[in-house]
Structure 1
Amino acid sequence: MRRLIPTGDAARPVAFAEAPQPVPEPGEVLVKVEAFAPNRGETFLLERPRPGLLPGKDVAGLVVQAAADGTGPGVGTRVVGHPASGGWAEYAAVPTPSLAVLPDTLDHVRAAALPLAGITALRLLRTAGSLAGRRVLLTGASGGVGHYVTELAVGSGAELTAVTATPERGRRLAELGATVVHEVAAADGPFDVVLESTGGPALPAALARTRPGGTLVWFGQAGRTPVTLDFFDLLTGPERVTIQHFHYAGAPYGPDLAALVRLVGQGRLHPEIGRTADWTHTADTLVDLRERRIRGKAVLTIDKEREGDHR
């Protein structure tokens, strides 16, 4: 089969290679991948790839081999999955607790856009607690996570302000009900909850707009600049603010994937896909994703020419 492997070249981060078909563990199914969605964090890993790195955490496709231990869906079932790695390939082994079955109404392109960004959004909002009637600030809002957070938070009754780099990147967020600004300094605080994903100077600026007793949840550093906090600046700002570190990983992903699939089916969640392309365009797409030239998610589809090839 074919898979994409790291090259170490920033201009062409991946290239095709022939590889053996994965051999699933007893609790894994073998999925014929129809679409996958790279994440911006994966583009950072490709800059200096560690030996043996096989990227790919978001896949949608068809089960072609059921799990040997009897768990999970059977052969012929359409699924969305979140494997630990190896999803940028014609076939991927996916643990059955990291799968959800797809209804006929949900295509593989939208499904592939759900896993990492959608699970992160769900778990981030659970961490933030009930948002009905609360004022929320979201930084770095125009990526995949930001669109899901915005739609879910606004749908739950939050008054959400989203920070994006440009008006174009914020247009869809405004349509979803967010107030859009283009720098943290322009956000009209104070906010009950701040969801901060940019790092650098954005975090202290967002912290200064948190109400006394409020919460800042720090879930990323997309700006790739370390954060510096001055203790004495905090003394002149809001008191008793809680800063909470967040990472989405942990607990089986299947139930959250099933919840995301259900929300899409109910029309309560709409994946924002800024680019869909054949996987032969993966290298260019990764560069554009890294350089923030894609709004929302990018999804790569695998051609059907080798559909019968199970080598």
Structure 2
Amino acid sequence: MRRLVPTGDAARPVVFAEVPQPTPRPDEALVKVEAIAPNRGETFLLERPRPGWLPGKDIAGLIVQPAADGSGPGAGTRVVGHPASGGWAEYAAVPTHSLAVLPDGIDSVRAAALPLAGITALRLLRTAGSLVGRRVLLTGASGGVGHYVTELALGAGAEVTAVTATPVRGERLARLGAEVVHEVAAAQGPFDIALESTGGPELPAALAQLRPGGTLVWFGQAGRTPVTLDFFDLLGGPERVAIQHFHYAGAPYGPDLRTLVRLVDEGRLHPEIGRIADWTQTADTLVDLRERRIRGKAVLLTGGTPCTP
């Protein structure tokens, strides 16, 4: 079968290789992959790939071999999955606790756009706590996570201010109901919660926008610039603010995938997909994703067309 493997070349991050079909463990199902969705964090890992690392965490497709231990869906079931690695291939072995069944109304394209960004958004908002009537500042809002966070937070009763690099990247967020600004300093605080994913100077700027006793949840460093905090600047800002580090990881992922699928099926969550292409264009798409030339998610099709119900 064909698999995309790292090259270590930033201009051409992956190439196809012919490899044996994976042999699933007893608690894994074999999925015929129909769509994959790379994440910007994966583009950074591809710059200096670890030996033996196989990229690919977001997939949708069809189960062709159920798990030997009897867990998970049966053969012929359409699923979305979040394997630990190795999803950019014609076939992937996925733990059944990282799968969710797709209803007839959700195609492979929208399904593949859900896992990492959607799970991150769900778990991030759980970390933030109750959102009803609270003011939320979100940086790096035009990426895959940002779109899900914005829609989910607004749906939960929050007032959201989304920070995007350009007006174009904020258009859909504004239509969802967010206040959109293009630098943290332009946001009209104070805020109860800041969700910060950019790093560099943006984090201390977001911290300064909090009300006394507010919380900043730090979940990324997309700007790739380390954060510097000045103690004396903090003294001049809001009192007793908290900074909380967040990372989405921690299986099982199946329950959160089922929640995301249900929300999409009910029309309460709408994946923002900025590009759909054949997976022969993966290398170019990864470069564009890394350079922020794609708004929302990119989805690549292994067979040219998505499986639709």
TM-score range relative to shorter protein:
over 0.9
Aligned residues: 306
Q: For 1:169, what is the secondary structure of its paired residue?
A: helix
| Aligned residue number for residue 65 of structure 2 | 65
What does the per-residue CA deviation read over 1:229-249, in whole Å, with 9 as the maximum and x for residues that have no partner? 001111010000010000001
Root-mean-square deviation (CA), in Å? 1.1
Partner of 2:210: 210
What SS class does the counterpart of residue 86 from structure 1 fall into?
coil
Deviation at 1:256, TM superposition (A): 0.3
CA deviation string 1:221-272 (max 9, x = no partner): 0000000000111101000001000000113100000000000011000000
* Per-residue deviation, 1:303: 1.4
What stretches of structure 1 of length at least 5 have no aligned partner? none
Which structure 1 residue ranges, 4+ long, deviate > 4 Å from structure 2?
Answer: none
After superposition, where does 1:2-13 map in structure 2 within 5 Å? 2-13=2-13
Q: Does residue 176 of structure 1 match 2:176?
A: yes
Q: Distance in 2 between matches of 1:303 and 1:213?
A: 52
Matched residue of 2:227: which SS? coil
1:272 to 2:260 alignment: no
Specify the code of the residue in structure 2 equivalent to 1:298. A
Residue 118 of structure 1 corresponds to 118
Q: CA deviation at 1:134?
A: 0.5
Aligned to 2:162: 162
Matches for 1:1-311 after TM superposition, within 5 Å: 1-303=1-303
Distance in structure 2 (CA, Å) of the matches to 1:302 and 1:48: 25
In 2, distance between residues paired with 1:290 and 1:227? 20
For the 8 Å contact 2:98–2:251, the answer to whether it is kept is no
5+ residue gaps, structure 2: none
Distance in structure 1 (CA, Å) of the matches to 2:246 and 2:114: 19
CA distance in 1, matches of 2:6, 2:292: 20
Deviations along 1:276-307, one digit per CA (max 9) or x if unpaired, are 000000000000000000000000001169x9
Identity of aligned residues (%): 85
Partner Cα distance (2:211, 2:252) in 1: 34
Task: Work out the CA distance in 2 between the residues paired with 1:132 and 1:267.
Answer: 20
